[in-house]
Amino acid sequence: MSKTYAPPAAMAANAHVNAAKYDEMYAASLADPDAFWKEQAGRIDWIKDPTRIKDVSFDLGNVSIKWYEDGVLNVAANCIDRHLETRGDQTAIIFEPDDPNDAAQHITYRELHRNTCKMANVLKGMGVGKGDRVVIYLPMIPEAAYAMLACARIGAIHSIVFAGFSPDALGARVNGCDAKVVITADGAPRGGRVTNLKDNVNKALLHDTDDVQCLIVKRTGQQIAFRNGLDFWYEEEAAKVADDCPPEPVNAEDPLFILYTSGSTGQPKGVVHTTGGYLVYAAMTHQITFDYHEGDVYWCTADVGWVTGHSYIVYGPLANGATTLMFEGVPTFPDASRFWQVCEKHKVNQFYTAPTAIRALMGQGDDFVTKCDLSSLKLLGTVGEPINPEAWDWYYNVVGGGKCPIVDTWWQTETGGHLMTPLPGAHATKPGAAQKPFFGVMPVVLDPTSGEEIEGDGVEGVLCMKDSWPGQMRTVWGDHERFEKTYFSDYKGYYFTGDGCRRDEDGDYWITGRVDDVINVSGHRMGTAEVESALVAHEKVAEAAVVGYPHNIKGQGIYCYVTLMTGQEPTDELRLELRNWVRQEIGPIASPDLIQWSPGLPKTRSGKIMRRILRKIAENDYGSLGDTSTLADPSVVDELIDNRMNR
Ligand code: 6R9
């Protein structure tokens, strides 16, 4: 039995959802989804109220997901305009820059309105209209939020590319969605170092024949190469346009954004989220999971380049009229106290981060935390990967002073918002468990071989969802077939998450990690296939297989087995060259941790690489290699074990 931590009495007493209410609402959400979600739609403002609530089919060949399909609304109006009367002067966004010596900014809802309208008018002037795609490649600055909301305001679809991605990765995403405009900055300061964002954009668009325009925010003031006629400084354009822009009426099922994410095969796919259901779900989960109350200061440390930044820095909090903090920097710059100093400085009430950051900071010792006044904290959250018990304990006791519930939120780019998490005023938390389904969410544990539902408690299998929720992705951009194949073909009639899971004796859920070829490095999701294709694109590499292995800080590290072209020397210099190559092809987050030279890879007779075996070798777990008799050449395995990378 794991130890549990009951909700603090004061929180349970005032929470949006306490234990009794959770049970009652959860039962209602399953008993009559239409009635339940019709009521929840009232969280946001509609130009035309939806009358058709849910229309969903998970049947392969016919997958279709629609929520609120006859509703009309505007997301930016919901996140900004409807708050102006009551909280125009309240801070919407606190911006904390990379350098602690630079002043923080407090942007009110009124200022947010003005800035978003300006950006919207600039985009319109560049020819962007409803349904057009805009790529956002920005640092964590307020303009990133203005850009998102400006797109939403005019009905354009944004696709944010994390500023740490390489020119190649950026170029693929610009082309993938046929973007009209890229919004970027001259440079991005992070941890005291500057990434030359505009340079990257120029490289990404070098071979572009569509003349993609670029809107550039001045962040660092550095020199940039300007493409005349195609590039525009945001500040100059903003000065020329009006500071009001009427919100465009948008259908609930029109796309709000595309966000590329990694899967087990092929290149990243463009996850499509639509407007009405997504916003209802983001707003509801933000309010209830974090127990957000009027006047609270809320901080999610993610980057807007990831889904967490979309739902829980921008859309959820702003739809709720919250004060949301945007942090440009990193947890360890200038030193490991930075997070906690920011919490103290802005009196943060809810703090939401990733286990990898917690582990890294835990390793620096308690002093960095205890020297700060963290008395404002009421709640802590984690997301992105399973949290190990040591990190949970440290977070709970040292950061939270033993008084803040931890919500371990399990969800995905595909899910739009939290699907499983304890609720802070309702559930006694268990370190490491994602615990309870959110309202309307129907998790099932399936037997991976038979695909049958495993009933009862104390069971383990793969995690699927039996029915839809409003925040679910609707399709893969430009490839609905891939959407169906990826999520609905392995287990017929269910949404397959790609995660394994255990339901314990109490009926609580624990995520056991990915069951596919996706690895989770520092909370960043990566397809091993992507790293492999980057490696084999190098002229000296004949073949490569990539797996994850346990890593103390990152959760998983990237272990690469590389077969060189005949005649190539396996040297340390080449190792370094390959590492830099992958960084260039994808970005620093994809840097191989270990590269093992492998004259041969274990393959079946039909030529499939047996990753299961490579994973075991990388994990140092030879006892359970399983059946190797189906290999074309079983001796390859001994050779790989003998030459395993030491660490
Ligand atoms: C939001 C986000 C999704 C994958 C997911 C799972 C892992 C996320 C987790 C977690 C255990 C948690 N994951 N939250 N595993 N406990 N609380 O991270 O989206 O980048 O798409 O990653 O991350 O494996 O399938 P995304």
Same-domain pairing of 473 and 526: no
Give domain status of residue 512, yes or no. Answer: no
Give domain status of residue 20, yes or no. Answer: yes
Centre of ligand 1 to C-alpha 603, Å, is 30
Give domain status of residue 4, yes or no. Answer: no
The Cα 634–Cα 636 span in angstroms is 5
Same-domain pairing of 87 and 232: yes
Same-domain pairing of 497 and 567: no
Give domain status of residue 516, yes or no. Answer: no
Centre of ligand 1 to C-alpha 325, Å, is 22
Same-domain pairing of 18 and 141: yes
- Packing angle, helices 33-40 and 276-289, rounded to 10: 80
- Determine whether the annotation assigns residue 341 to a binding site: no
pLDDT single digits (tens) 348-388? 999 999 999 999 999 899 999 999 999 999 999 999 998 98
Same-domain pairing of 557 and 436: no
Say which CATH number the domain at 122 has. Answer: 3.40.50.12780
Same-domain pairing of 497 and 531: no
Give domain status of residue 16, yes or no. Answer: yes
Say which CATH number the domain at 613 has. Answer: 3.30.300.30
Could you give the number of structural domains in the chain?
A: 2
> Domain limits at 263?
9-502
ipTM at complex level: 1.00
- pLDDT score of 600: 87
Same-domain pairing of 495 and 539: no
Centre of ligand 1 to C-alpha 527, Å, is 14
DSSP string, 394-435: HIIIIITTT-S-EEEEB--GGGSS-SB---TTT--B-TT--B
- Determine whether the annotation assigns residue 587 to a binding site: no
pTM: predicted TM-score of the whole model, two decimal places: 0.94
DSSP string, 426-460: T--B-TT--BSBPTT--EEEE-TTT--B--SSSEE
Q: Work out which ligand 1 atom sits closest to the CA atom of 306.
A: 20
pLDDT single digits (tens) 400-426? 999 999 999 999 999 999 999 999 999
**End-to-end distance of the chain based on CA atoms, in angstroms?**
34
- pLDDT score of 607: 72
Same-domain pairing of 172 and 314: yes
Same-domain pairing of 601 and 460: no
Same-domain pairing of 226 and 349: yes
Report residue 646's pLDDT band, with 50, 70 and 90 as the boundaries: low
Same-domain pairing of 493 and 558: no
Q: Is 462 in the pocket of ligand 1 (CB under 6 A)?
A: no
Report residue 610's pLDDT band, with 50, 70 and 90 as the boundaries: confident
pLDDT single digits (tens) 189-247? 999 999 999 999 999 998 777 789 999 999 999 999 999 899 999 999 999 999 999 99
My answer on whether omega of the bond before 334 falls inside 30° of 0, hence cis, is: yes
Give domain status of residue 513, yes or no. Answer: no
Q: What sections of 218-294 are H helices per DSSP? A: 234-240, 276-289
Give domain status of residue 381, yes or no. Answer: yes
Same-domain pairing of 195 and 241: yes
* Two structure tokens written together for 310: 């979309």
Q: Work out which ligand 1 atom sits closest to the CA atom of 434.
A: 17
Please, are residues 596 and 560 in contact by the beta-carbon 8 Å criterion?
Answer: yes
**453 CB-near residues (< 8 Å, 6+ apart):** 444, 445, 446, 447
Q: Work out which ligand 1 atom sits closest to the CA atom of 525.
A: 20
Instruction: Write down which residue in 471, 502, 533 finishes a domain.
Output: 502
- Determine whether the annotation assigns residue 155 to a binding site: no
